[in-house]
Chains A and B, each alone.
Chain A
Amino acid sequence: DGGITQSPKYLFRKEGQNVTLSCEQNLNHDAMYWYRQDPGQGLRLIYYSQIVNDFQKGDIAEGYSVSREKKESFPLTVTSAQKNPTAFYLCASTPGQLMNTEAFFGQGTRLTVV
């Protein structure tokens, strides 16, 4: 089945450590996105990538980094510079930014800083 796989489902990190969240898709989609979900704030865009080897900052990129070396993979690193990293992280993809289509989402990763 085609879809988006995020791993792990739950992640615990000590303060001061970097951590990388995985996002893989087998939908052959060009565009991929990372969102952060906090209660009462909806989904806020962290980074997005329209094509391999290219990515753009979203609304809340500070303290995060990404790479897009392969079409199917868009890992997100939460760095120690992120002041409040505990949140639910969602990865999404679309066939392309300028096409009439919905976004497809993974199951999410819940990150907790301990």
Chain B
Amino acid sequence: AQSVSQHNHHVILSEAASLELGCNYSYGGTVNLFWYVQYPGQHLQLLLKYFSGDPLVKGIKGFEAEFIKSKFSFNLRKPSVQWSDTAEYFCAVNDYDYGQNFVFGPGTRLSVLP
């Protein structure tokens, strides 16, 4: 079965630092990839998504992610984080080859210090 791993459980950064959150999935093939964010007390929101085409995708709030098929990875990046980016970030995969629904990673909690 498809599985998703996220490299860090909790990341702590100062404002203006650069961010990279790792995400790897276990099986290749036809996949759609997503990053969702959950701000404290709020529902899950889509940050960005990859279906096909340019492997570098840009999302909301200055976030971007790069799909590297050979590494089964979809890492999330932001050049300069803000205090308001404090949230939990989830990577997700929708794997059509295995007929599975959205499979989520365990999440990475980001704390940005002012």
- Residues in chain A within 8 A of chain B (CB atoms): 33, 35, 40-45, 48, 58, 90, 92, 97-98, 100, 102-103, 105-108
Chain B, residues 87-107, CB within 8 Å of chain A (1/0): the string is 000101000100001111111
Given contacts A40-B9, A100-B32, A100-B51, contact A105 B44 (CB under 8 A): yes
A-B contact pairs, 17 of them (CB 8 A): A33-B101, A40-B106, A41-B106, A42-B4, A42-B90, A42-B104, A42-B105, A43-B104, A44-B104, A92-B102, A98-B96, A100-B52, A102-B34, A103-B92, A105-B43, A105-B44, A108-B43
Are the CB atoms of A97 and B101 closer together than 8 Å?
yes
* B96 and chain A: residue at smallest CB distance: A98
* A43 and chain B: residue at smallest CB distance: B104
Instruction: Tell me whether B46 is interfacial, beta carbon within 8 Å.
Output: yes
Given contacts A100-B32, A102-B49, contact A45 B101 (CB under 8 A): yes
Are the CB atoms of B107 and A42 closer together than 8 Å?
yes
The docked-state distance in angstroms from the alpha carbon of A42 to that of B34 is 14
Are the CB atoms of A43 and B101 closer together than 8 Å?
no
Given contacts A40-B107, A100-B32, A100-B51, contact A58 B43 (CB under 8 A): no
Residues on B with C-beta less than 8 A from A41 are: 106
- 7 nearest A-B pairs in the assembled complex, by CB-CB distance: A43-B104, A42-B106, A105-B44, A42-B104, A100-B51, A107-B43, A102-B46
